[in-house]
Structure 1
Amino acid sequence: MYLTSPIVYGFFQWYPEWRTTVSLIGFAIMLLGMVGASFANSVAELLATQGILYGLGGSLLFFPVYSYLDDWFIKRRGLAFGVLIAGDGTGGVVIPLLSQWMLDKWGFRTAMRAWAIISFLFLSASLVCLKPRPKARNAVGPVSRGFDMRFLKSPAFWILQTGNICQGLGYFMPILYMPSFAAERGWPNITGTIAVSLCNVSLVVGATATGWIVDRYHVTTAIMISCIGTMVAVFIFWSFSVYQPMLFIFAITYGVFAGGFPATWSGCANPVRRSYPVENGMIVALFTAGKGIASVISGPVSGALVEADTWKGQLGFAYGSGYGKMIIFSGITASFASISWVGKRLGVV
């Protein structure tokens, strides 16, 4: 879903009139993926349905929203994008709890079919409201198609993208491993679920606030706030999570600062635009792909970090939990986002 975003957005730049149609096609593919997954009998079938089909359909359904956002918002585009990102956090609170309840009550196959029905009902209502901005009645001239790719020559773009990818390398690890970390500490199973839910709730606040900051200050200000806050969350609160309340504090602060980081993408076009014309949506699409690359890499890396952790039982605090090297890795990769601030100081960003 992440990796296809530039292709999907590029298609909409050439054929904007297809946005609604493609959204409906993506909607159908996504539902097909969920229903198909309920009949899967092997890992390969599950990967093809819930993995490939669902991801492709979600991409076709979701990314037209970026172009609609550009249509409707100008002055408060950062805040609007932050609210859009905050939707991930809202879903991340409700969906895991509801999914777990359905899995426990009905099993995997029935739960997937039930979730397909729920998705159909809610998304159908949303698609009715999803419309492009009406064109001015006195607008003349041909519709602009395509896009200018000269912005790829901009050092500002590559500095910001590098920081984005580096931040993404460690971003997913704490969220994915919070439940297993809690179990390793001997805490009840509900502890990890609560921690993830708190992280997602906090993401709503973080993304909205970050979008507000992007509208009012240079984008590197928002990036540095996210960067420093994430480092504090990882190196202080996660590192010393020897009691459940400290893990919850970590989840909240990580959700606010790390979870809010994608809301900075809407402001990353401004430094690039000083040298080359660029659509805000294309920058967001490319940064989304960058995060996708990071997520693909972070999967095997996180497993290797846990497998190779020799600090378990040897060091104090959370560093001896079996996740010590992951904690260090997550904090260091978060710090690399500060490269954008360095670029600004050098006058490049």
Structure 2
Amino acid sequence: MSYGVFQQYYSDNWTLEGDRSSTGFIGTTANGVMYLSMPFLFALFTRRWAHRRQLAALCGTVIACVSFFLSSYSTTIGHLVATQGIASALGCALIYSPITLSLGEWYSTSNRALAYGIVLSCKNIVGTTLPFMLRALIDTYGFRTALRVWTAVVGGTSVVAICMIPTHPSKATVHETRTRKIPWAFLRHRSIYFYSIAIIFQSSGYGIPQTYLSTYARDVVQLSQTSGTLMLALFNAPGIVASSLFGWLSDNPRVTLPAQAVSAIPPLACALAAFLLWGPTTAPQGGLGLLVVFSVVFGFFSGGYSATWGAMLKQLEGESAARNEAVDPGMLYGLLNGVRGIGYASGGFAGVGLLNAGMGMAAAAPRSGYGTSYGPIILFTGITSLLGGWVVLWRWNPMKVLPLVSGLVRSVRRFRQ
């Protein structure tokens, strides 16, 4: 969530071997690898290795710390991708997966979505404060020392917290009896596929502002490095409230919103923010205000999107119960994380290519962000977010929505020209 600080530093102080533009997909690759590995890890720790969750999380801490430490000695872009983008993500996934499974089991009867939302809010607290810490460390000591300090922070905080998290009693002794197979009957329901496609679209656009917001603030709106870091913090801060709010919406019996509506609100709002707030920003007059509003609005709704998965799980569990089929909520949650990894990874690679393409298309005196080299990635963020909201409303007639999407794209193109 704070990789944009490193991205800005690498852009300004490139001393490694390799293509500088490739650093743009390190952050999204890290998120993609972490989420892509989760279905496999959730499957392992749901039943057979449930009693090894704490050990696995501690091993993940070691892997993450070693990876961050080795990344501080990187001399090529390949080293950075392997350590900061891949290996550290695998370690983080080993921490996140068993802990999240335990959380879902302790809140299996009620308030599960709210519990997920509160934990995700804590993630946004870190994403809000950490950019300033990293910026201060990088400016004072360079990125290598900053990564070594971060290694110590990860190791020191994770070990203590992991040792305090208990495994649910129902899973602690599961290895002593014959392990039941994971039920896969839910794969016959079409809802899981619509939700998966929606998550892929939403995640493809979500990682773009996280990676490029700081450099956009500097290159287009002509802000200082400190202001660029502030944009990243403003992007993450609203998620502190949004995650708990959307978790509450998913669980509250007095708010009778269907799962489709709850999970469609964030991506549709993100699409509007990208098209109406990020795209029109220009430098320097008026750009700062629009960019601040965009960071807050997009960060609020995108930061709360994962908390809507509680509503998705509730609907999928209800469909299985109606058919008298067994279902494992932990495995379902792992699969949703996995498809999010596909979106993160694809969005990261697309962002690098679109930014390179935008450099050849940028106008000499752009009137808005659409006319800059960032124009293609702004369009990509808006369109993927729009599709993420539309797909989840699978009960609607898609033929009524497709003309709206194509018309919006044509309007943005005319505005760009």
Shift of 1:313: 4.1
1:254 maps to 2:288: no
Shift of 1:299: 1.8
* Equivalent residues of 1:269, 1:279 under 8 A apart: no
How many residue pairs are counted as aligned between the two chains?
Answer: 343
* Equivalent residues of 1:6, 1:285 under 8 A apart: yes
Q: In structure 2, what is the Cα distance between the partners aligned to 1:38 and 1:226? A: 36
Deviations, residues 300-339 of structure 1 (Å, cap 9, x unaligned): 2112222223253476322223222222221111111234
Q: In structure 1, what is the Cα distance between the partners aligned to 2:365 and 2:78? A: 40
> Compared with structure 1, are the counterparts of its residues 315 and 45 closer, same or farther at alpha carbon in structure 2 (3 Å cutoff)?
closer
Shift of 1:278: 2.4
1:64 maps to 2:98: yes
* Equivalent residues of 1:3, 1:289 under 8 A apart: yes
Question: Where does the alignment leave 5 or more consecutive residues of structure 2 unmatched?
Answer: 1-33, 398-417
1:215 maps to 2:251: yes
Q: In structure 2, what is the Cα distance between the partners aligned to 1:175 and 1:112? A: 19
Moved more, 191-200 or 81-90: 81-90
> Compared with structure 1, are the counterparts of its residues 42 and 235 closer, same or farther at alpha carbon in structure 2 (3 Å cutoff)?
closer
* 2:38 matched residue in structure 1: 5
Q: In structure 2, what is the Cα distance between the partners aligned to 1:52 and 1:306? A: 22
Question: Where does the alignment leave 5 or more consecutive residues of structure 1 unmatched?
Answer: none
1:269 maps to 2:269: no
> Compared with structure 1, are the counterparts of its residues 267 and 245 closer, same or farther at alpha carbon in structure 2 (3 Å cutoff)?
same
State the AA in 2 paired with 1:239: G
State the AA in 2 paired with 1:163: A
> Compared with structure 1, are the counterparts of its residues 22 and 146 closer, same or farther at alpha carbon in structure 2 (3 Å cutoff)?
farther
Q: In structure 2, what is the Cα distance between the partners aligned to 1:44 and 1:236? A: 37
Moved more, 190-199 or 44-53: 44-53
> Compared with structure 1, are the counterparts of its residues 49 and 327 closer, same or farther at alpha carbon in structure 2 (3 Å cutoff)?
closer
Instruction: Please report the TM-score for the alignment, with normalisation by the length of structure 2.
Output: 0.76
* 2:336 matched residue in structure 1: 287
State the AA in 1 paired with 2:330: G
SS of equivalent residue, structure 2 residue 370: helix
Q: In structure 1, what is the Cα distance between the partners aligned to 2:178 and 2:248? A: 32
Counting only pairs closer than 5 Å after superposition, residues 1-349 of structure 1 correspond to structure 2 as 1-13=34-46, 14-73=48-107, 74-135=109-170, 142=177, 145-185=180-220, 186-216=222-252, 217-242=257-282, 243-273=287-317, 274-275=319-320, 276-309=325-358, 310-313=361-364, 316-345=367-396
State the AA in 2 paired with 1:252: V
Q: In structure 2, what is the Cα distance between the partners aligned to 1:109 and 1:238? A: 32
Q: In structure 1, what is the Cα distance between the partners aligned to 2:326 and 2:378? A: 40
Deviations, residues 232-272 of structure 1 (Å, cap 9, x unaligned): 21121112323201101100000111121111122212332
Shift of 1:286: 1.2
State the AA in 2 paired with 1:256: F
* Equivalent residues of 2:63, 2:88 under 8 A apart: yes
Shift of 1:220: 1.4
State the AA in 1 paired with 2:209: P
Equivalent pairs: percent with the same residue?
Answer: 25
Q: In structure 1, what is the Cα distance between the partners aligned to 2:276 and 2:212? A: 17
Q: In structure 2, what is the Cα distance between the partners aligned to 1:96 and 1:345? A: 41
SS of equivalent residue, structure 1 residue 322: coil
> Compared with structure 1, are the counterparts of its residues 241 and 121 closer, same or farther at alpha carbon in structure 2 (3 Å cutoff)?
same
* 2:20 matched residue in structure 1: none
Shift of 1:20: 1.1
Moved more, 104-113 or 177-186: 104-113
Deviations, residues 99-135 of structure 1 (Å, cap 9, x unaligned): 2212222233332222222222211221122112345
* Equivalent residues of 1:239, 1:327 under 8 A apart: yes
SS of equivalent residue, structure 2 residue 281: coil
State the AA in 2 paired with 1:221: A
* Equivalent residues of 2:184, 2:327 under 8 A apart: yes
* Equivalent residues of 1:191, 1:244 under 8 A apart: no
